[in-house]
Structure 1
Amino acid sequence: MDLRLARRTAIVCASSHGLGRACATSLAAAGCDLVLNGRDAAALGAAADDLRATGIKVETVAGDIADDGVQRALVDAAGGAPDILVNNNAGPPLRDFRQLDADAIHAGLDANMVVPIRMVQKVIDGMIERRFGRIVCITSGSVKSPVAGLDLSSGARIGLTGFLAGVARQAAGANVTINFLLPGLFATRRLEGVHAFTAKAQGISVEEAEQRARARIPAGRFGDPAEFGDACAFLCSAQAGFITGQSLLVDGGAFPGVL
C-alpha cells in the first residue's frame, strides 16, 4: 500500500534504538524525510547513516528530549513545519512503588507526560494551518493492563492519553490526528530490563522470567520491532485521517479485554 507520505517530514523522538528506530525505519520506507533524536550521538549517527541509504533526507539532533532547546532544535531541523511527530521517550526504571520519592515521581511524569505534550504544543498549530498532521505517541500496554514495577510509567502515560484525547478532537477537523501506540513485549533492550526485574522480584532466573513472559502471550512470541514500526507508519498515512484519539494495542493478544 502506498501510504502517500513521500516527501513528508517526520520528527521521531528517541529514535536511535528500539521502537523509535523501528518507527523511523518504516517511515523512511514510506518515503518520509526524517529528523531523528537520541542521547547517544554515536548511535544516533549510525542510525541516520543506515536510513540515508534508502535515499531520504535525515537530520539529527542529539540530546535529551526533555530539554526545551533540543525540542526546538528538532522543530527547526524539520524546517519549522513537520508533518508528522512520533512522541517517544524511555520509561522510568522499573522499581517498587514504595521506592519512589517525590523527585523520581516528578521526573517520570515530566519525561512521559509533560515532554510529549510540550512537543505537541510546538508543532500542532502549523499542522492545523497546513491541514495535514499526524501525531503518534508511543505509550505502553500497561496503560490498559498495569504491571507491577511500571506504576510510574503507567500513571504518566495514562495522564498523557487523557490529556491528548481532548486535544485530538479539537484538531480532527483540520486533518490532524493524534493516536497512541501501546506496545506489549517487544524484543528490545527495554525487555531485558523487564526480565531482570521480574527475576529478582520472584526469585527466579532471568531465563525462567523470559519463558514465563513469552508463555503469557497468545501469539507465542515477543514482538518484532519492525511490525510495530509499520503500525506507526500506517497511523501516519494519508489513509488514516479518520482515526484519531485511539489507543492501539500491539501486544500479540496479551491483553485479555475487548475494549
Structure 2
Amino acid sequence: MHLGIEGRKAIVCASSRGLGLATAKSLAEAGCDLVINGRDAKKLQQIAEELRAQYSVRVTPIAGDISSPETQQAVLKACPNPDILVNNNGGPPRKDFKELNRQSIQEGVLQNMITPIELIQAVIEGMAERRFGRIVNITSMSVKMPIQGLDLSSGSRAGLTAFLAGVCREYAPHNVTINNVLPGKFDTDRLKGGFEHQAQQANISVEEAKQLTSKEIPANRLGNPEEFGKACAFMCSAHAGYITGQNLLLDGGLYPSAF
C-alpha cells in the first residue's frame, strides 16, 4: 500500500534497535525524512548511513537518552516541525514491585509517561497549524494484560494512555491523531532478557524458554519486528486520519478478549 507520506518529516525515538528501528525503517521506506535517536552514537550513525543509502531519504542521528532535556532539545532542533512523532523508550527492568523504591518509580514514570508527554507538547500545536500530524506511542501489551515483574512499565504506559485519551480528541479536528501500538512478544533484545530470567527460574536453556513462550501464543511464534514496523507506519500514514485514541494490539492473539 502507498502510505502517502513521502517527504514527511518524522522523529522516531529510541530507534537504534528493536521495534523503534523497525519503525524507522518502515517510515524511511515510505519516503519520510527521519530524525533517529539512541544512546549508542556509533551504532546510530551506522544505521543512518544504511537508511540513507537504501531509501534515499534524509536521516539525522541524535545520540542520547530521550528522557534528558538536552537530548529532547537536540532532537527538536534537528526537526522543529515534524509531521510524525513516534514515542518509544526502554522500559524499567523486570523487578518485583516490593523491590521498587521512590527513585526507581520516578525514573520509570519519567521514561514511559512524562517523556512522551513532553515531546507531544512540543510538537502538537505545529502539527495542528499545518493540519497534519501523526503521533504514535509504542507502549506494551502489559497495558491490557499484566506481566509479572513489569508493574512499573505497565503502570507508566497505562498512565500515558489515559492521559492522552482526551488530548487526542481535542486535536482530531485538525487532522492530528494520537494512537498507541501495543507490542506483545516480539523477537527483540528486550524479550531475550525475559527468556534468560525464565530459563534461570525453570532450570532450562534460553532456547527452550523461547520455544515454551512461542507455544503459549495462538500464532505459535514470536512477532517479527519488521511486521511491527509496517503496522506502526500505517498508523502514521495519510490513510489513518480517521483513527485516533486507539490501542492497536499486536500480540499474535495472546490477549484473550472479544473486545
Which TM class, normalised by the smaller chain length? Answer: over 0.9
Match of 1:64 in 2: 65
Match of 1:167 in 2: 167
Would the aligned equivalents of 1:22 and 1:225 in 2 still touch at CA under 8 Å? yes
Match of 1:76 in 2: 77
Residues in 2 aligned to 1:199 and 1:48: alpha-carbon distance in whole angstroms: 35
Match of 1:157 in 2: 157
The SS at the match of 1:11 is strand
TM, length-normalised to structure 1:
0.97
Mark the CA change 1:89 to 1:227 in structure 2 (over 3 Å): closer, same or farther: same
- Alpha-carbon RMSD across the aligned residues, in angstroms, is 1.0
Residues in 1 aligned to 2:102 and 2:199: alpha-carbon distance in whole angstroms: 27
Residues in 2 aligned to 1:202 and 1:116: alpha-carbon distance in whole angstroms: 36
Would the aligned equivalents of 1:16 and 1:36 in 2 still touch at CA under 8 Å? yes
Residues in 1 aligned to 2:216 and 2:45: alpha-carbon distance in whole angstroms: 37
Match of 2:56 in 1: 55
CA shift, 1:212, in A, is 1.7
Cα deviation code 1:184-240 (max 9, x no counterpart):
111110010111122334444423321221111111111110100000110000110
Residues in 2 aligned to 1:2 and 1:216: alpha-carbon distance in whole angstroms: 35
* Matched positions, count: 258
Mark the CA change 1:201 to 1:151 in structure 2 (over 3 Å): closer, same or farther: farther
Cα deviation code 1:21-72 (max 9, x no counterpart):
0000000010000000000001111111110011000011110001112112
| 1:133 corresponds to 2:133 | yes
Match of 1:227 in 2: 227
Q: Which runs of 4+ in 1 moved over 6 A?
A: none
Query: Partner amino acid for 1:242?
Result: Y
The SS at the match of 1:137 is strand
Which segments of 5 or more consecutive residues in structure 1 lack a partner in the other structure?
Answer: none
Mark the CA change 1:106 to 1:202 in structure 2 (over 3 Å): closer, same or farther: farther
State the identity %.
58
Match of 1:93 in 2: 93
Residues in 1 aligned to 2:124 and 2:73: alpha-carbon distance in whole angstroms: 14
CA shift, 1:113, in A, is 0.5
The SS at the match of 2:2 is coil
Match of 2:31 in 1: 31
The SS at the match of 2:14 is coil
Residues in 2 aligned to 1:170 and 1:196: alpha-carbon distance in whole angstroms: 43
The SS at the match of 1:219 is coil
Residue correspondence of structure 1 range 231-250 to structure 2 within 5 A: 231-250=231-250
Mark the CA change 1:25 to 1:187 in structure 2 (over 3 Å): closer, same or farther: same
CA shift, 1:96, in A, is 1.2
Residues in 1 aligned to 2:181 and 2:146: alpha-carbon distance in whole angstroms: 15
